[in-house]
């Protein structure tokens, strides 16, 4: 993935404590909001009957409030909105408040210049959030959901020049970006099939993107990713097994969309300044190797069973682990570890030579192949009922 125009040069006034302080503020504000609001929503939704009923495609055998995505969404939107308003106020009045991290005032004009793009990203997230709420409440036709996702992705990419591979022709880069955003939106929606799985996997992925963004000397994108990270961490306090609340589609759809946008906006390779090597553009594929494996494998298994890919069942990677004797908690932790094992190596693609890049790619392929081989050794088990 490449978006060279999003590189943010380090200025002379840069202080080593400036950006860590900014990221700490971003994380803590979102974390506190999410951690406070989530249990309140769990009680409200539980009393009003907005709950997830036990279903044949879930391992949960009890009613659990859904709509936790509301807490995640507002824990993202409010800190970003307040932050942008404060930046605008400081710039309009030529202020440098004492509570700003030292040296951050030098970055305020650049942050403000990115406000339009940030608002556009949040508008897209809001549309998917509302779509998810409607789907959680009364259901939405899968085709209609997919159309809305494409409209959101096309609008964002077409009007705000957020796209992959800017060295490629505009049409090719735009089409690839739209497909990538819609794909990840659905991947994290598919991952939301077990307590804490989608949110926890996203936490691991975001940590890697934040790390890479800071190595690339970016500020705005890692800060936005850190806000999302804080919101998810606060939510996970109540979503990890045994979950007290589910995020629902109102959370999983905007979550996948935001992870996709962050993965596009993060700079991996900038030919104008010779940053990294061209193979750095494969970083998102490596970071997201396990979620991609789950998505591809479950779609394959559903098609092989002559079942539409969008119809829920117990064929996900997490379900298959439980069918092999794991508890829900162990299955989720296993996927966390597998995601971390592949994602961590992606960080070093920006620094290694071609041989090192090949070795990293082979390592990821080896990990996913081992998983596939272990699963195929017991291919005859029931796909619908845990053993």
252 within some domain? yes
How far, in Å, are 12, 26, 34, 70 from residue 238 at the CA level? 43, 21, 10, 14
Q: What pLDDT shows up at residue 161?
A: 75
Residue 383 within a domain: no
- What is the 3-state secondary structure of 295-340? HHHHHHHHHHCCCCCCCCCCCCHHHHHHCCCCCHHHHHHHHHHHHH
CA–CA separation, 29 vs 22, rounded Å? Answer: 11
Q: Which helix (H) or strand (E) holds 180?
A: helix 170-191
**Residue 386 domain-assigned (yes or no):** no
User: How confident is the model at residue 233, as a pLDDT?
Assistant: 97
Q: Are 80 and 349 in contact (CB under 8 A)?
A: no
* Model pLDDT, residue 159: 84
pLDDT of residue 269: 63
Number of structural domains (the chain) is 1
Integer Cα distance of 284 and 282 in angstroms: 6
- d(CA 195, CA 238) in angstroms, rounded, equals 9
Predicted confidence at residue 2, as pLDDT, reads 40
Q: Are strands 51-52 and 64-65 parallel, antiparallel or unpaired?
A: antiparallel
What spatial distance separates the first Cα and last Cα of the chain, rounded to whole Å? Answer: 41
Element (H, E) at 134: helix 115-138
How much is the pTM?
0.87
Tell me if 381 is assigned to some domain: no
What pLDDT sits at residue 98? 59
Distance CA 117, CA 114 (A): 6
pLDDT at 145: 95
Per the domain annotation, does 384 fall within a domain? no
Task: Answer yes or no: is 255 within a domain.
Answer: yes
Low-confidence ranges of the chain (pLDDT < 70): 1-17, 55-61, 96-107, 166-167, 269-278, 377-387
| Residue 241 contacts residue 62 (beta carbons within 8 Å) | no
pLDDT at 348: 81
Residue 113, domain member (yes or no): yes
Enclosing domain of residue 59? 4-376
pLDDT digit string (tens) for 275-310? 556 677 788 999 999 999 999 988 888 888 888 888
Question: Which residues on neighbouring strands pair with residue 51, listed in sequence order?
Answer: 65
Produce one character per residue of 257-267: b if its CB has 16 or more CB atoms within 10 Å, e if not.
bbbbbbbbbbb
Confidence (pLDDT) at 105: 67
| CB contact at 8 A, 365 and 371 | no
For residue 101, tell me if it sits in a domain: yes
Which tens digit of pLDDT belongs to each residue from 119-154? 999 999 999 999 999 999 998 999 999 999 999 999
């Amino acid at each position: 993935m490449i978006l060279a125009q999003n590189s943010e040069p380090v200025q002379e006034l840069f202080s080593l404590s400036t950006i860590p302080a900014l990221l700490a503020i971003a994380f803590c504000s979102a974390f506190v909001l999410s951690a406070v609001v989530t249990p309140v929503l769990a009680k409200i939704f539980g009393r009003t009957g907005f709950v997830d009923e036990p279903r044949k495609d879930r391992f949960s055998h009890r009613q659990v409030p859904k709509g936790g995505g509301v807490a995640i969404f507002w824990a993202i939107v409010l800190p970003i909105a307040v932050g942008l308003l404060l930046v605008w106020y400081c710039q309009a009045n030529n202020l440098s408040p004492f509570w700003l991290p030292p040296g951050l005032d030098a970055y305020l004009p650049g942050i403000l210049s990115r406000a339009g793009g940030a608002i556009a990203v949040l508008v897209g997230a809001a549309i998917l959030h509302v779509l998810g709420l409607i789907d959680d409440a009364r259901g939405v036709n899968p085709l209609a959901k997919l159309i809305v996702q494409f409209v959101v992705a096309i609008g964002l990419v077409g009007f705000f020049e957020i796209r992959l591979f800017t060295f490629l022709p505009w049409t090719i880069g735009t089409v690839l970006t739209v497909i990538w955003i819609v794909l990840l939106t659905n991947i994290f929606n598919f991952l939301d099939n077990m307590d804490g799985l989608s949110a926890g996997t996203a936490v691991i992925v975001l940590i890697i993107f934040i790390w890479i963004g800071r190595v690339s000397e970016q500020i705005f994108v890692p800060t936005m990713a850190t806000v999302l990270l804080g919101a998810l961490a606060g939510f996970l306090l109540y979503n990890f097994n045994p979950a007290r609340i589910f995020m629902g589609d109102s959370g999983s759809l905007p979550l996948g969309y935001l992870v996709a946008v962050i993965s596009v906006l993060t700079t991996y390779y900038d030919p104008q300044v010779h940053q990294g090597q061209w193979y750095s553009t494969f970083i998102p594929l490596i970071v997201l190797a396990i979620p991609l494996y789950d998505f591809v494998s479950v779609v394959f298994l559903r098609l092989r069973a002559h079942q539409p890919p969008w119809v829920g069942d117990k064929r996900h990677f997490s379900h298959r682990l439980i069918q092999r004797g794991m508890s829900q908690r162990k299955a989720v932790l296993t996927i966390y570890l597998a995601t971390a094992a592949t994602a961590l190596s992606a960080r070093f693609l920006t620094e290694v030579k071609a041989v090192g890049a090949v070795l990293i790619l082979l390592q990821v392929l080896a990990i996913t192949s081992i998983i596939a081989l272990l699963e195929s050794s017991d291919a005859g088990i029931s796909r619908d009922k845990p053993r």
